[in-house]
Structure 1
Amino acid sequence: MAAAAVVEEEEVIIVGAGQSGLAAAACLSLRGVRSLVLERDDCVGSLWRKRSYDRVRLHLAKHFCALPHAPHPDAAPTYLPRDDFARYLDAYAARFAVRTRLRREVRRASYDVAAARWEVEAVDLAAGGKVELYAARFLVVASGENDEKVVPEVPGIEGFPGKVLHACEYKSPEGMKGKSVLVVGGGNSGMEIAYDLAGAGAVTSIVVRGEVHVVTKEIWNVAMALYPYLPLWVIDKLVLLMCAVVFGDTAKHGLRRPAIGPFTMKCTTPAYPVVDVGTYAKIKSGEIRVLPAAVKSVHGNLVEFNDGKQYPFDAIVFATGYRSTVRRWLKSDDGLIGDDGMATRSYPEHWKGENGLYVAGMVRRGIYGSYEDAEFIAEDISKQLHPEAHGNGNNGKQEQLLAS
Structure 2
Amino acid sequence: MQETVVIVVGAGPSGLATAASLNLLSIPNIVLEREDCFAPLWQKKSYDRLHLHLPKQACELAHMPMPTSYPTYPSRLQFIQYLRDYVSHFGISPVYHRLVESASFDEVTEKWKVKVRVINGGSDEIEEYSCRFLVVASGETSDAFIPEVEGLSSFKGEVLHSTQYKCGKEYAEKTVLVVGSGNSGMEIALDLSNYGAKTSIVVRSPVHILSKEIMHLGLFLARYLPFNMVEYLTVMLSKIMYGDLTKYGIIRHEEGPFTVKAKYGKYPIIDLGTYKKIKSGEIQVLPALTSIRGSEVVFKNGESHPFDVIVFATGFKRSTNKWLKDDDLLDDNGFARLMPPNNWKGKKGLYCAGLAGRGLTGARVDAEKIANDIKTLL
Question: TM-score scaled to structure 2, two decimals?
Answer: 0.98
CA distance in 2, matches of 1:101, 1:141: 15
Matched, 1:278 2:273: yes
Find 2:372's aligned residue among 356, 371, 379.
379
Find 1:41's aligned residue among 27, 35, 38.
35
Structure 2: which 5+ runs fail to align?
Answer: none
- 1:88 alignment partner, SS class: helix
CA distance in 2, matches of 1:64, 1:156: 42
Give runs of aligned pairs for residues 306-385 of structure 1, distance below 5 A.
Answer: 306-333=300-327, 335-385=328-378
CA contact (8 A) 1:262 1:273 kept: yes
1:58, distance to aligned residue in structure 2 (A)? 0.2
CA distance in 2, matches of 1:172, 1:148: 21
CA contact (8 A) 1:223 1:263 kept: no
- 1:353 alignment partner, SS class: coil
CA distance in 2, matches of 1:102, 1:251: 48
Matched, 1:25 2:19: yes
1:29, distance to aligned residue in structure 2 (A)? 0.9
CA distance in 1, matches of 2:364, 2:220: 16
CA distance in 2, matches of 1:226, 1:303: 44
- What letter matches 1:347 in structure 2? P
1:217, distance to aligned residue in structure 2 (A)? 1.3
**2:108 is matched with which residue?**
114
1:129, distance to aligned residue in structure 2 (A)? 2.1
CA distance in 2, matches of 1:297, 1:265: 29
- What letter matches 1:285 in structure 2? S
Matched, 1:157 2:164: no
Matched, 1:262 2:257: yes
CA contact (8 A) 1:11 1:34 kept: yes
Find 1:143's aligned residue among 121, 138, 142.
138
Give runs of aligned pairs for residues 281-300 of structure 1, distance below 5 A.
Answer: 281-292=276-287, 294-300=288-294
- 1:301-328 C-alpha deviation (Å, 9 max, x unpaired): 1111122111111111111110111101
CA distance in 2, matches of 1:310, 1:268: 34
Quick check: 118-127 or 178-187, which moved more? 118-127
CA distance in 1, matches of 2:2, 2:213: 48
- What letter matches 2:290 in structure 1? K
Find 1:236's aligned residue among 212, 231, 234.
231
1:218, distance to aligned residue in structure 2 (A)? 1.5
Aligned positions, number: 377
Structure 1: which 5+ runs fail to align?
Answer: 1-6, 386-404
1:353, distance to aligned residue in structure 2 (A)? 0.3
- What letter matches 1:355 in structure 2? K
- Alignment identity in percent? 47
CA distance in 2, matches of 1:117, 1:326: 19
- What letter matches 2:207 in structure 1? V
CA distance in 2, matches of 1:337, 1:253: 39
- 2:36 alignment partner, SS class: coil
**1:69 is matched with which residue?**
63
Give structure 1 regions of 4+ aligned residues with deviation exceeding 3 angstroms: none
- 1:136 alignment partner, SS class: strand
- 1:380-399 C-alpha deviation (Å, 9 max, x unpaired): 111111xxxxxxxxxxxxxx
CA distance in 2, matches of 1:103, 1:240: 45
CA distance in 1, matches of 2:55, 2:81: 17
1:25, distance to aligned residue in structure 2 (A)? 0.6
CA distance in 1, matches of 2:55, 2:221: 14
CA distance in 2, matches of 1:76, 1:175: 30
1:177, distance to aligned residue in structure 2 (A)? 1.4
CA distance in 2, matches of 1:18, 1:226: 30
1:232, distance to aligned residue in structure 2 (A)? 2.2
- 1:101 alignment partner, SS class: coil
- 1:57-94 C-alpha deviation (Å, 9 max, x unpaired): 00111111111111011111211111111121111111
CA distance in 1, matches of 2:223, 2:132: 35
- What letter matches 2:202 in structure 1? V
- 1:135-173 C-alpha deviation (Å, 9 max, x unpaired): 110000000111111111122222222111111111111
**1:173 is matched with which residue?**
168
Question: TM-score scaled to structure 1, two decimals?
Answer: 0.91
| RMSD (Å) for aligned C-alpha atoms | 1.1
- What letter matches 1:364 in structure 2? G
